[in-house]
Structure 1
Amino acid sequence: MPVLDHLGVTVADLPRGITQFDAVLTALGFEKEGEKVDSVAWYREGETEIIVFAAREDDIGPHRHGRVGWQHLAFAVDSRAEVDRLHAVAVDAGWSIVREPKPYPRFSERYYASFVEDDNGIRIEFMHNPPREAD
């Protein structure tokens, strides 16, 4: 059983949010499960559900990285090439580049990642950090 069952994210423009999240989540192997008036969910068999909700208030503005609330969600992938591919998918879907794919030796000598952000200030990371080889 996964530790995290589901994650809900609120966006200002639901159709735009669906477009941006669908491209990324579909590329990660998630399937969209029917849209409702105020939300849409994606599932990956045996894994976490991700739900995008419409904002309930007007003029709430985008989230600002570093403020209380959302920091970022990291998707672990199987290779550096997959980080690069997913980064390109996200950018093509309208996500803004925060950091291009690159190594992050401050995390580990194996860590490779990219960061993107949507119109709402929602930040995601694609990362590859293979286990250290056994000695």
Structure 2
Amino acid sequence: MRKTAVVPVFDHLGVTVDDLPSAIAQFAPVLAALGFTRYDAENGVSWHTEGETELILLPAREAGTGPHRHGQVGWQHLAFAVGSRAEVDRLHAVAVGAGWSVVREPKLYPRFNDRYYASFVEDDNGIRIEFMHNPPREQSPQAVV
């Protein structure tokens, strides 16, 4: 049996913002807390994970075209899966401390399942992110063969 290479869900994500310095100030603490490393470029900034997944911020081609409006065509939100409810709470606090607006405080979302715990925040550009913890359902002893 041949092993299949593990490929990231996405390689990179580019996000256009109205005010690049302001967006950097909001994204930098959050992405650092998630373990991303920052790289500055001539016309933008990017953050990379160890697996080379990249998030890039770029200035809008036309000033004043933002913010993005949640629910309209385009970006909905990006969810960061984390290892615990405490990590959701910590990252939520980091984001709020960096100027992100609270959309939804950390809480359980039983409409998804009884384990789904998450928070939602939005930056000045209308970019929404979620921090979520959704541990696998524990198998009952009868389910293990």
Which residue of the other structure, out of 32, 46, 56, is the alignment partner of 1:26? 32
State which of 13, 20, 27 in structure 2 corresponds to 1:14: 20
Paired amino acid for 2:55:
I
Matches within 5 A, 1:81-92: 81-92=86-97
Offset at residue 61 of structure 1 (A): 2.2
How many residues are matched?
134
Find the aligned partners of 2:134 and 2:52 in 1 and give their Cα distance. 20
- State how far apart, in whole Å, the 1-side matches of 2:96 and 2:64 are: 25
Deviation at 1:37, TM superposition (A): 2.9
Q: 2:132 aligns with which of 102, 127, 131?
A: 127
Alignment partner of 1:62: what SS?
A: coil
Corresponding residue SS for 1:101: strand
Match of 1:96? 101
Looking at structure 2, the residues matched to 111 and 3 of structure 1 have their Cα atoms a distance apart, in angstroms, of 20
1:3 deviation in Å?
Answer: 2.6
* Cα distance in 1, alignment partners of residues 9 and 66 from structure 2: 31
Q: Deviations over 1:47-105 (max 9, x none)?
A: 41000111110220211110000000000000000000000000000000000000000
Backbone CA RMSD of aligned residues: 0.8
* Matched residue, 2:63: 58
Aligned to 2:41: 36
Is 1:68 the equivalent of 2:65? no
- 3-state SS, counterpart of residue 35 of structure 2: coil
Structure 2 residues not aligned, in runs of 5+: 1-6, 141-145
Query: Segments of 4+ in structure 1 off by > 3 A?
Result: none
For the residues of structure 2 that align with 1:48 and 1:110, how far apart are their CA atoms?
27
2:20 partner amino acid: L
Report 1:102-117 matches (<5 A).
102-117=107-122
What TM-score, normalized by structure 1, do the two folds share?
Answer: 0.97
- Alpha-carbon separation, structure 2, partners of 1:57 and 1:86: 32
Q: What TM-score results when the alignment is normalised by the length of structure 2?
A: 0.90
Q: Measure the CA separation in 2 of the matches of 1:59 and 1:79.
A: 38
